Amino acid sequence: MSYYKILGFDKEPFSTSPDPVFFYESREHEQALTNLMIELRLKRGLSVILGDVGTGKTTLSRKLYQLIKSQEGFICHMMLDPVYNDEEVFLTSLTRNFDVSAAGSGPRILDLKEALERFLFQRGVEENKTIVLIIDEAQKLNELTLECLRVLLNYETNEYKLLQLVLLGQMELHSKILSIPNFIDRISFKYTLNPLDEREMRQMIEFRIR
């Protein structure tokens, strides 16, 4: 029998899996989540969450995804392991996950980009949907995929961005973004998660036990 059953718990309260049920909203996590939802609703484009290993980025991403999926008017996909060495494979993954048809007679990469552009304008403008792409472990993105995302962020109306992109990654993500011309100025919201202090750690433990 598992230890948590012996202690009378229904679930493992200290699992390393990012269960949003156990999401403890510290001051910083609450601030990050609140601001992310504001950014998405105002369709400002690119948000970046940075933090060292174990600061709760993945659990935050699951909580954000859960919130988005519970509301109308959003189309959302989460990318968990963004390791793509080929631009075509990355774009193909995006079209498949957003259920976009990319048939065409031109070069494959061009067809994929045009299909995504049509999708963003149709669903984002004509149908007034908010299209969200959440990428966890975003420090794994290479220069090629970051450049693809930069291009997608160029699609916009006079009032708002058509793709809402949330990148969550370790601190090295920031230096990667800095290396891409005209990418850093796309960031509308950037936040760094720090480790919990002693008081918050105690509250988190008590919260999970409850």
The whole-number pLDDT of residue 109 equals 87
Assign 3-class secondary structure to 63-119.
HHHHHHHCCCCEEEEEECCCCCCCHHHHHHHHHHHCCCCCCCCCCHHHHHHHHHHHH
The whole-number pLDDT of residue 23 equals 86
H or E element: which one contains 199? Answer: helix 198-209
Give the span between the Cα atoms of 128 and 122, in whole angstroms: 8
DSSP letter at 24 equals -
The whole-number pLDDT of residue 157 equals 92
Range 32-37 average pLDDT: 96
Other Cβ atoms within 10 Å of 27 Cβ, number = 10
Start-to-end C-alpha separation, the chain: 21
What is the tens place of the pLDDT at every residue in 90-131? 999 999 999 998 776 656 888 899 999 999 999 999 999 999
Range 3-26 average pLDDT: 84
Does the predicted model carry a pTM greater than 0.85?
yes
The whole-number pLDDT of residue 10 equals 84
What is the tens place of the pLDDT at every residue in 124-171? 999 999 999 999 999 999 989 999 999 999 999 999 999 999 999 999
The whole-number pLDDT of residue 130 equals 97
Query: What is the CATH class of 3-209?
Result: alpha beta
By residue count, the chain amounts to: 210
Q: Domain map of the chain by residue range?
A: 3-209
